[in-house]
Amino acid sequence: MREEGVRRKRNRRAIMTRTLQGKVRGKTIELEEELGLADGEQVQVQVTAIPPVTTWGQGIARSAGIAADLPGFDVAFAQIQREREQAQYRDAAD
């Protein structure tokens, strides 16, 4: 397994392996830092997508925002909330 900064000789040329982060912009990957390679130098790229960092509740907030402009949404949502508050649940042991 290669580690960051490891250099090996291949065909009398040093091979550099680094792990960097960046953002995809179409067919271009904009890196967060300089590579230190000459412009036009050929490289091999292995891409791993990084899942976005989210906080609890962001998904439902986005979903609710989509429906906020629907006619009758507020009335329907209020009804659901009332029903949940009035619901009587039995114990799972019963």
The DSSP secondary structure of the chain, one letter per residue, reads: ---TTEEEEETTEEEEE----EEEETTEEEESS-----TT--------PPPPP--TTHHHHHHHHHHTTSTTHHHHHHHHHHHHHH-----TT-
Which residues on adjacent β-strands are paired with residue 23?
30
Instruction: Tell me the average pLDDT across 57-80.
Output: 80
pLDDT of residue 36: 86
Q: What does the mean pLDDT of the chain come to?
A: 80
pTM of this structure? 0.41
Asked if pLDDT for residue 74 goes beyond 90, the answer is no
